[in-house]
Structure 1
Amino acid sequence: MPLIKQLLAGKRPLRLAILYSCVITVLFFIPSGELPKTDFSEADKLIHVLVYFVLANLWILYLYVKNGHHLYKRGTLILLFSILLYGIIIEIFQGLFTVSRSADILDVASNLVGSLLGIYFFKNVKHKLKA
């Protein structure tokens, strides 16, 4: 069975989205001293963009499959706002409950950019998933 059909089978998109969400939630609370160091100062923001790009794609894939291979504007907007709220809550919790991390509005902006890019990307490739 082709990989795309395997991904779209049954409850797999939901399981992938939930698993990824749980993993990144845990990773966002790892003390920053334990993370690899880079010389590239914007690496943190690019990582946020990439993480949220994948997060948005997994959740929109789930919605797409759940709705019979259709994307509805309302569902997409609710998804976008939910992911944005999740990112804001993570940043607040990092500031309140961790010692080596702090809340950063630029991380929230990077999360939003990644989410928007993810949704835009999915909308442009979703026709390939029907095959």
Structure 2
Amino acid sequence: MLQHIKNLLERNSLLVAIASSFLILVLSLISMDGVPNFKYNNTDKFEHAFAYAFMSFFWMLSCQLGKIKLSFLHLIVIIILYGIIIEVLQMSITVSRTGDLLDVVANSIGVILGYVILRLLRRLYLQV
């Protein structure tokens, strides 16, 4: 069963990476007016970190599998820049969203977390 899940993740890693990138873009730019706000003391930063960890994990998995030809360092820089661009777009093209430097920090932490998770899983998998 574990091998089946591994094969499924490997086959679809690039698709999940692209889909999660698109979903983050859309959710970052659409109006959230009318959506209940349950945020307390910047807890949305955890949402940012989780979303970027998820996205970067699958981009880096795709890289590791040879589906894209970039180094992890290049991917980390690109994904962090992606988050910065989204924050700039929130400030410049939306009226109901604002860019936030702390969101950029949370996004960047998420990218690093995605890398760390991939490395840990790789280490655990190789030891089994």
**Fold conserved between structures, TM > 0.5:** yes
Alignment of 1:1-131 (within 5 A): 2-9=4-11, 12-66=12-66, 75-127=71-123, 128=125
Using the size of structure 2 for normalisation, the TM-score is: 0.86
1:110 counterpart letter in structure 2? A
1:18 counterpart letter in structure 2? I
% identity of equivalent residues:
33
Structure 2 residues not aligned, in runs of 5+: none
Q: How many pairs are equivalent?
A: 124
1: CA distance, partners of 2:108 / 2:14: 21
After superposition, the CA RMSD in angstroms is 2.2
Q: Any idea what the Cα deviations from partners look like across 1:5-38, whole Å, max 9, x if unmatched?
A: 12213xx211111111111111111213243311
Q: Which runs of 4+ in 1 moved over 3 A?
A: none
**Cα shift at 1:39:** 4.7
Task: Sort the Cα spacing of 1:91 and 1:120 in 2 relative to 1 into closer, same or farther, 3 A.
Answer: same
2: CA distance, partners of 1:118 / 1:33: 30
> Does the Cα contact within 8 Å between 1:91 and 1:102 map onto a contact in 2?
yes
Using the size of structure 1 for normalisation, the TM-score is: 0.85
1:59 counterpart letter in structure 2? W
1:87 counterpart letter in structure 2? G
Task: Sort the Cα spacing of 1:39 and 1:8 in 2 relative to 1 into closer, same or farther, 3 A.
Answer: closer
Task: Sort the Cα spacing of 1:125 and 1:25 in 2 relative to 1 into closer, same or farther, 3 A.
Answer: same
> Does the Cα contact within 8 Å between 1:4 and 1:129 map onto a contact in 2?
no
